[in-house]
């Protein structure tokens, strides 16, 4: 039913050739610069599933979140509890939708983005005051309760790092919910902010989230997405540079099991000169019907001289019946850049690695674990938030633990009984 | 005291056109302490023998037997063979990104011995073995074989041979691609292992060069999937002078 072909693209030094875009059997796609963005429900209709930005998505399962009249997550009866645990230097507020600070980081670019914007009544605003250095991680938790699992709701979070502020904010998602979310990230001049979003949902959760980041002069953002749980998770992080010297590092890690859909669509908009972006996403897939989608759009506008960008996606397909789509797109409108490149590779588990490790006496299950851990190891170290790194390692172990029966079932040759240890 | 016995071994490789026979009846007995050199032209099946003994899934044994001290090796999985005491130093060691050499060595040693090595003595042992093989201690933290030069990969293979202490070690063209200095370092490692553990060695090589450093007790000439001639070290000297032409015939020179 599903086939996996090992595929790679590597354009370490791409140039402005006017048509630099790739896909796996992709239809030609319009320029990202021309994609309509709007705050109005009327401008962005309910998708059919044939649109470029929805063609990999299970739109039927996301349908409840296309409705403009969603309730507010965290409100009574929403079935979602929102808890904030802030560092002492960090200020947390709950504000109405008319707060002037909201809606400044870009505009919605797809249907769930625009419904999330129009539905929320209250927003959580996390502010790191100017020149403050947060002494601890600030945590924002979304806990879905079983009772309200099927009730679709909308949530809005704004994380603001004022001028020269420094902080780490971790947004967690657990339990079960049907949640449409916006995470706005405003990184002012000279600020350094890390935002981590962890999707550790239970089975049954459906979660869409538009992350929209705006970077000021010399601002640095590390944006980390970790997706393990939930039936359908679709995250669309956008980053926009508004002044020179900005730097964004986007790191993603996902692990899809049977029948999970995990989609990450990124867009980095180099609108101004001398900014830098790095995108590194890695995913593993196991089990029938596991589906991951990674789309990385980078636009280097005509004025963005001195841009330095590189994006990379790697997928490790552990079993038959899983599917990874990986589409890097790079549009370059100026030749005066420092560097632009992308690479994408989707491969099966490497049997030669397995043979090498087993030829050293290591039993097959342990050998597979070593390889998968190794696949994620460098990426985890890049996150730079110790508590998150530790949890991640534990989550990967748990994924491998529950999957070992699946994996050995596929790989053990007939009669090759595995009585190791 | 261990004995590896190979009897009338036939092996095929899977190709798109179906199974293709490579080994056509190999007979060979290797005992602890002995060093056997298998020499032969490219394409004669030397490396297939090495891979088949280690259990590489690409190769199908179609008939014959392999036993280690009477135990049926062919019935064992790849990891079971290693734990039974077989070691293969590979011609093309595989990169394992994200897995450090230190972690890999400790994991393999634990699997082979059935228990974790003593922390303190193990660290010392690894350090000494690395230093003997002129491997920089910084390699411990590098990913297995990733970014290693050809010579570094081969030294890392022999490092494992010294640390894992197998009964029988198969060295698959460990000498190929090495300069003279590296060849000497690697050969010293093999000789140390022979001295310290009485390991039986099956040395597969295309060239006689390595036999100046590692003295074979027996030399087997491998042609077209089987052993064409056997003898002592003097056979290697003759091959040095005459090459393999005599075995492959003038009509079919060894493909290079």
CATH of the domain at B24: 3.40.50.300
ipTM over 0.90: yes
Q: In 3D, which of B16, B22, B8, B7 has the Cα closest to residue B59? A: B22
| Residue B198 within a domain | yes
CA distance A165 to A411: 51
Based on the number of CB atoms within 10 Å of its own CB, is B256 exposed (0-12), middle (13-18) or buried (19 or more)? exposed
| Residue B224 within a domain | yes
Supply the pLDDT for residue A401.
Answer: 79
pLDDT in tens, A331-378: 999 989 999 999 999 988 888 999 999 999 999 989 988 999 899 988
| Residue A71 within a domain | yes
| Residue A62 within a domain | yes
**Between the CA of residue B235 and those of A81, A158, A281, B250, what are the distances in Å?**
81, 80, 57, 21
Supply the pLDDT for residue A25.
Answer: 42
Please check whether residue A53 is in contact with residue A110, taking contact to mean a CB–CB distance below 8 angstroms. yes
| Residue A261 within a domain | yes
| Residue B113 within a domain | no
Supply the pLDDT for residue B228.
Answer: 94
Q: Which residues of chain B are at the A interface, by a Cβ-Cβ cutoff of 8 Å? A: 54-57, 77-83, 88, 90, 93-99, 103-104, 107-108, 111-112, 143, 160, 164
How many domains are there within chain A? 1
CB nearest to B108's CB, from A350, A361, A418: A361
| Residue A291 within a domain | yes
CA distance A250 to B113: 43
Share of chain B above pLDDT 70, in %: 97
Structure tokens at B79: 């990891």
Supply the pLDDT for residue A35.
Answer: 85
pLDDT in tens, B126-183: 999 999 999 999 999 999 999 999 999 999 999 999 999 999 999 999 998 899 999 9
| Residue B216 within a domain | yes
| Residue A105 within a domain | yes
- Within 324-353 of A, beta carbons closer than 8 Å to B belong to 350-353
- A20: phi then psi, degrees, rounded to nearest 5: -95, 95
| Residue B230 within a domain | yes
Structure tokens at B154: 């081969």
Which positions in chain A touch B83 (Cβ < 8 Å)? 361
pLDDT under 70 in chain B at which residues? 249-256
Supply the pLDDT for residue A26.
Answer: 43
Supply the pLDDT for residue A319.
Answer: 86
Please check whether residue B161 is in contact with residue B88, taking contact to mean a CB–CB distance below 8 angstroms. no
% helix / strand / coil in chain B, to the nearest 5? 40, 30, 30
**Between the CA of residue A341 and those of A16, A312, A337, what are the distances in Å?**
11, 9, 11
Domain, as residue range, for A33? 7-349
How many domains are there within chain B? 1
| Residue A270 within a domain | yes
Q: Strand ranges (DSSP E) for A189-290?
A: 192-199, 206-215, 220-227, 232-241, 247-256, 261-270, 276-285
Structure tokens at A247: 């730097």
| Residue B101 within a domain | no
Supply the pLDDT for residue A60.
Answer: 94
Which positions in chain A touch B80 (Cβ < 8 Å)? 420
Cβ within 8 Å of residue A154, ≥6 positions away: A70, A71, A72, A73, A115, A116, A119, A120, A179, A180, A181, A182
| Residue B24 within a domain | yes
| Residue A91 within a domain | yes
pLDDT under 70 in chain A at which residues? 1-8, 12-30, 402-421
Long-range contacts of A31-35 (CB under 8 A, 24+ apart): A31/A299, A31/A331, A32/A267, A32/A269, A32/A297, A32/A299, A32/A329, A32/A331, A33/A299, A33/A301, A33/A331, A33/A333, A35/A109
| Residue A22 within a domain | yes
Please check whether residue B242 is in contact with residue B254, taking contact to mean a CB–CB distance below 8 angstroms. no
Element (DSSP H or E) covering residue A348: strand A339-348
Supply the pLDDT for residue A1.
Answer: 37
């Amino acid at each position: 039913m599903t086939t996996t072909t090992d595929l790679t693209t590597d354009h370490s030094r791409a140039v402005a050739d006017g048509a630099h875009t790739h896909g796996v059997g992709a239809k030609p796609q319009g320029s990202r610069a021309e994609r309509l963005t709007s705050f109005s429900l009327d401008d962005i209709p309910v998708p059919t599933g044939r649109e470029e930005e929805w063609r990999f998505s299970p739109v039927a399962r996301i349908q409840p979140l296309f409705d403009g009249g969603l309730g507010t997550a965290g409100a009574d009866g929403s079935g979602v509890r929102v808890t904030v645990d802030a560092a002492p230097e960090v200020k947390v507020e709950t504000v109405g939708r008319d707060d002037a600070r909201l809606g400044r980081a870009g505009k919605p670019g797809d249907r769930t983005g625009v419904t999330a914007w129009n539905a929320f009544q209250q927003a959580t605003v996390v502010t790191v005051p100017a020149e403050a250095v947060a002494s601890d991680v600030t945590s924002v938790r979304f806990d879905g309760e079983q009772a309200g699992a099927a009730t679709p709701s909308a949530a809005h979070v704004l994380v603001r790092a004022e001028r020269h502020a420094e902080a780490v904010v971790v947004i967690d998602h657990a339990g079960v919910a049907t949640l449409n979310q916006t995470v706005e990230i405003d990184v002012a001049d000279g600020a350094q902010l890390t935002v981590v979003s962890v999707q550790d949902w239970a089975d049954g959760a459906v979660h869409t989230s538009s992350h929209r980041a705006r970077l000021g002069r010399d601002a640095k953002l590390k944006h980390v997405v970790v997706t393990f749980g939930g039936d359908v998770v679709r995250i669309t992080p956008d980053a926009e540079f508004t002044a020179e010297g900005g730097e964004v590092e986007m790191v993603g890690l996902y692990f899809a099991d049977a029948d999970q859909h995990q989609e990450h669509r990124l867009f980095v908009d180099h609108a101004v000169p001398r900014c830098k972006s790095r995108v590194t996403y890695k995913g593993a897939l196991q089990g029938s019907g596991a589906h991951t989608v990674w789309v990385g759009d980078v636009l280097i506008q005509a004025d963005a001289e001195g841009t330095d960008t590189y994006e990379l996606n790697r997928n490790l397909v552990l079993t038959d019946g899983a599917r990874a789509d990986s589409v890097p797109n790079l549009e370059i409108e100026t030749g005066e850049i420092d560097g632009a490149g992308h690479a994408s590779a989707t491969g099966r588990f490497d049997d030669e690695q397995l043979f090498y490790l087993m030829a050293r006496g290591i039993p097959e299950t342990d050998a597979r674990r070593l390889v998968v851990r190794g696949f994620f190891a460098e990426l985890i170290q890049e996150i730079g938030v110790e508590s998150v790194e530790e949890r991640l390692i534990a989550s990967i172990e748990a994924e491998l633990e529950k999957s070992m029966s699946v994996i050995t079932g596929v790989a053990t040759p007939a009669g090759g009984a595995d009585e190791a240890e | 005291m261990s004995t590896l016995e190979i009897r009338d071994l036939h092996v095929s490789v899977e190709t798109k056109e179906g199974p293709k026979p490579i080994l056509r009846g190999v007979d060979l007995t290797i005992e602890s302490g002995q060093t056997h050199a298998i020499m032969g032209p490219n394409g004669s099946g030397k490396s297939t023998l090495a891979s088949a003994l280690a259990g590489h899934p690409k190769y199908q044994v179609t008939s014959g037997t392999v036993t280690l001290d009477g135990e049926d090796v062919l019935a064992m999985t790849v990891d079971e063979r290693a734990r039974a005491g077989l070691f293969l130093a590979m011609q093309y060691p595989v990169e394992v990104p994200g897995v450090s050499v230190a972690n890999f060595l400790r994991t393999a040693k634990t699997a082979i011995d059935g228990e974790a090595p003593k922390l303190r003595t193990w660290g010392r042992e690894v350090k000494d073995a690395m230093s003997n093989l002129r491997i920089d201690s910084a390699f411990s933290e590098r990913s297995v074989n990733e970014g290693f030069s050809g010579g570094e990969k081969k030294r890392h293979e022999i490092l494992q041979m010294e640390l894992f202490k197998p009964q029988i070690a198969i060295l698959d063209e460990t000498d190929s691609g090495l300069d003279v200095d590296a060849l000497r370092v690697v050969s010293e490692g093999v000789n140390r292992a022979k001295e310290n553990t009485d390991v039986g060695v099956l040395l597969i090589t295309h060239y006689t060069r390595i036999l100046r450093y590692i003295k074979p007790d027996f030399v087997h000439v491998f042609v077209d999937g089987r052993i064409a001639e056997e003898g002592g070290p003097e056979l290697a000297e003759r091959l040095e002078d005459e090459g393999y032409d005599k075995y492959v015939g003038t009509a079919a020179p060894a493909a290079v």
